[in-house]
Amino acid sequence: MSAPHLGEIAPDFTAETTEGTVTFHSWKGDSWAVLFSHPADFTPVCTTELGRVATLESEWERRGVKVIAVSVDPLESHQGWKRDIAEVAGSEVGYPIIADETRAVSELYDMIHPGEGDTSGVRSVFVIDGSHKVRLTLTYPKSVGRNFDEILRAVDALQTTDRGPYSTPADWRAGERVVIAPAIPTAEARDRFGDVEELTPYLRYAAEPAR
Ligand code: BEZ
């Protein structure tokens, strides 16, 4: 199965998790979601990653994002590992971890990395919007822990640009200036956005309009 592409509906599934049985679409409802896979329980990099996601609970909530992790390890393993994560991170894992022993979810989202052992998923991330559309994907190798500040930043950028017509430039952070869509003439941009800085006819900056 190939990984879901940007703009496609994230495939639905029902799976056992540390928070009970989850049917993905009804669990997330019209919230955004971050679905992320990790190779194996009781491993160092994964422990730091799941701990970091747990400490960011209020940041996910603030953006209306539900997080859900997946690995092919069994439920009892996840439950034991959660205690280690809480101890290391200083935060309880309040989000579900899918026990994907049959690899049904991992295969549905193409999270298994050929040549890396037959049981482990790679470090995939799917950011899914309130309409269940896949909005961003990332795939990291086992050796490289993900940067969850970047995932939050990308969610901010997606949610901001949904209110466009504008995009976010390199290294943008929430609250910084946006770039106006090239299709909008500069005169119209000035009417709509007020102060517009025109660096080139196609690169125009403006403050994000108040919500
Ligand atoms: C880790 O998360 O550190 C890890 C995962 C899979 C294999 C080896 C290490």
CA 78 to chain centre: 21
User: Where along the chain do its domains lie?
Assistant: 14-145, 163-206
The values of phi and psi at residue 158, to 5°, are -65, -45
Q: Is 48 in the pocket of ligand 1 (CB under 6 A)?
A: no
**Per-chain mean pLDDT for the chain:** 95
- Among 33, 21, 50, which Cα is nearest to 123's? 50
pLDDT value at position 117? Answer: 62
Under 8 Å between Cβ of 87 and 177: no
pLDDT value at position 2? Answer: 86
CATH assignment of 163-206? 3.30.1020.10
Beta bridge partners of 167: 179
What's the CA gap between 76 and 161, in Å, rounded?
41
Higher pLDDT, 117 or 62: 62
Q: Is 140 in the pocket of ligand 1 (CB under 6 A)?
A: no
Model confidence at 118: pLDDT above 80: no
What's the CA gap between 179 and 173, in Å, rounded?
13
50-69 residue pLDDT tens: 999 999 999 999 999 999 99
Q: Name the pairing type of β-strands 20-23 and 203-206.
A: unpaired
Q: Sign of the C-alpha dihedral, residues 148, 169, 61, 34?
A: negative
pLDDT value at position 167? Answer: 98
Q: Is 46 in the pocket of ligand 1 (CB under 6 A)?
A: yes
Q: Kindly give the distance from the C-alpha atom of residue 93 to the centroid of ligand 1, in angstroms, as a whole number.
A: 19
pLDDT value at position 211? Answer: 75
Rounded to two decimals, the pTM is: 0.95
Model confidence at 157: pLDDT above 90: yes
Model confidence at 113: pLDDT above 60: yes
For the question of residue 46 being annotated catalytic, the response is yes
Model confidence at 191: pLDDT above 80: yes
Among the listed residues 15, 33, 34, 46, the single catalytic one is 46
Q: Is 75 in the pocket of ligand 1 (CB under 6 A)?
A: no
Four-way CATH pick for 14-145: 3.40.30.10, 3.30.1360.200, 3.40.50.300, 1.10.150.20: 3.40.30.10
11-42 residue pLDDT tens: 999 999 999 999 999 999 999 999 999 999 99
